[in-house]
Structure 1
Amino acid sequence: MYSKAILILIALILLGLGVIFLIAAARNISRLFVAIPLIALGGGIILYSMKPTPQIYKVTVQWEPGGKVLAQELKCPRCGATLPPPDPTKSMDIIKCPYCGATIKLEEQPIW
């Protein structure tokens, strides 16, 4: 809050000095080489300080199954062993059989 006010104050001082050097450049053209950077720096600081800060939005995603949820025992198609349930925190759709090492991909059946 205060940093923006301080930046704007510094920028206004730089702009004021730039205008003074710009007016003085009527007598001595070399003062123009000081006036232009002062005005540009003051304007740049004002543009930087007026830039809005990004807002952070918290998004919560909840998943609910589309159809009926039926508890089925997963079996390995190779050896017929019972497979462990997939870990919902990792959103795994691939399960590895602990007995034969087969990799099984799970697919959700569509509602329609």
Structure 2
Amino acid sequence: MFKEIVGIDYTVDIDFEDNYTTSLTLSFLVLVIETGHRFKMKIRYLNVSDFSVRKMTNLYLTRSLIIHDRKELGWEMNQRYHVHDDSGYGENDGYNFIEFYCSSMEAVSLEEF
């Protein structure tokens, strides 16, 4: 179970042709319910756009981030995934604290917390 986001690292890289590449690395506190073990997991999202974080003190999650794969809709697009947390109403359509689009994502690390 994802408990909360404990780190946000947003970077913009510019190459010699002035092409921009954006990435967002989120660190999550993850709890294994059966054992009570806690882990810190990092996931990197690539080519991030429309990144939005609302005013907050802590970024608690109800379960995990919601990821909509827009390719399933049959659209060809650069920003394949729409990622956000739950609005609090449990309908997976709105966001409460964080929202963005990205072209891909990758697991970076998992370590004991």
Q: Is TM more than 0.5 here?
A: no
Q: Report the TM-score when normalising by structure 1.
A: 0.21
RCO higher in structure (CA 8 A, sep ≥6): 2
Higher Cα Rg: structure 1 or 2? 1
Q: Report the TM-score when normalising by structure 2.
A: 0.21
